Amino acid sequence: MRVHTHRHRGRDVGRKWVWLALTFLGLACATEGKSPWGATSPQTTAQQKQQAPSKSSNQKDLRSNGSPDANELSDDDEGDLAEGEYLVSPSVAHPLDDWSDAALREAFETRPESLGSISVGTPNSGRLINGVRPPASSLYHLVDPEHAWGTQETVDSLCRALEAVARQHHDTRVVDIGHLSARSGGPLRPHRSHQSGRDVDLGLYYSDRNSRWYTYADGDNLDVARTWTLLKALASSTDIEMVLLDINLQKRVETFALSTEHDTAWVHLLFHGEGAQPRLLRHSPGHATHLHLRFKNPIARRSAQRLAPLLATQRPLEHQNAPLSHVAKVGDTLAKLAQRYCTTMGAIRAANRMRGFQLKAGQSYIIPIDKFAVEKAGGCDKR
């Protein structure tokens, strides 16, 4: 029986890339490395240490996958996020400021990894260049490593906050990290965001040690002390932009924070905002099972602006994870499909929201393709 496949196209690809080109040219703004909640975030160490050549140089229960939250706020929904207040000032130092146009072009064409992480476009319509994964650690577990790529800033900020929790609370159990972005960003099912390396789906800290990834929190099983320490660290030592969490869980954490913190006005600001100051915590359906974190990434976003002329002249590239569809036949298994299409069983299950491992003959399944895996394998058979 013949296997039918076809490529799923994004709608109006041309218009999307025109918009991205405008974004590259600086019409979309990046943000400063300051937390609007009163603390300045440390610069990303790895990117700060980049050596710049001289200007004359020529050099609902889907526990098996990353994060099934399709109800995330879109960029348009975040009306209370005053982006204009956090424009990057020309006086703020950036690793690429002293690079000549010739040096940037040479690096972009021959050694792009030297440019550091680059976050292009927006979380809902963007790309990721030179993404990194959280390093191996005893503090957390990557649920879906193939879709756990972020900018260096995002990964550093996330690890910094998790380390703060471990220091404050001994015997903290391993927390799960779900989706960040695909290796080159772009659409990542089932999300609307997670496209530019700035988003993280982070598991909750539970008081019940038997709880697993994506366990629903009703308040009684939420470890409010560790959750508050995490939020406090994010707000005071990273460039966090927003956190999505179910409103009922927010109330539990806020009550705890007000009972333990001296600066109750600051706590109120985090949960409710004031005037033009946006709140850090937002409600979005589907976030009683995990936290959705978004970081501002001033370095990675400004890098995209600095490289705008080079990025804007690129031909639109087909996303690395552009999916196919496969109509299952008798005898097909997840392992066979993963091998045939150079992907993984976990990625197929995540794309199709599968709870088990069995395929049904005659049913069409989405197959997420990872071009890095294809290239490594020397090509795949897609007949």
What is the domain partition of the chain in residue ranges?
17-312, 324-377
Taking residue 237's Cβ as centre, other Cβ atoms within 10 Å add up to 18
DSSP state of 181: B
Cα dihedral 10, 11, 13, 18, rounded to 10, equals -130
State the 10-residue block means of pLDDT for the chain, 383 residues long: 42 45 39 50 39 37 47 42 39 83 91 94 92 96 95 97 96 95 91 94 93 89 96 96 96 97 96 91 93 96 90 54 76 88 80 84 80 50 44
* Among the listed residues 304, 271, 267, 41, the one whose alpha carbon sits nearest the alpha carbon of residue 157: 41
Residue 76 makes CB contacts below 8 A (sequence gap 6+) with none
Residues 6+ apart with CB under 8 A from 241: 31, 81, 198, 294, 295, 296
Angle, to 10 degrees, between the axis of helix 298-306 and the axis of helix 152-168?
Answer: 170
The C-alpha angle 187, 192, 196, rounded to 5 degrees, equals 55
Whether the Cβ atoms of residue 201 and residue 178 lie closer than 8 Å to each other: yes
Q: May I ask the CATH architecture of the domain 17-312? A: 2-Layer Sandwich (3.30)
Let me know if domain 324-377 sits in CATH 3.40.50.720: no
- Alpha-carbon dihedral sign for residues 240, 152, 29, 291: negative
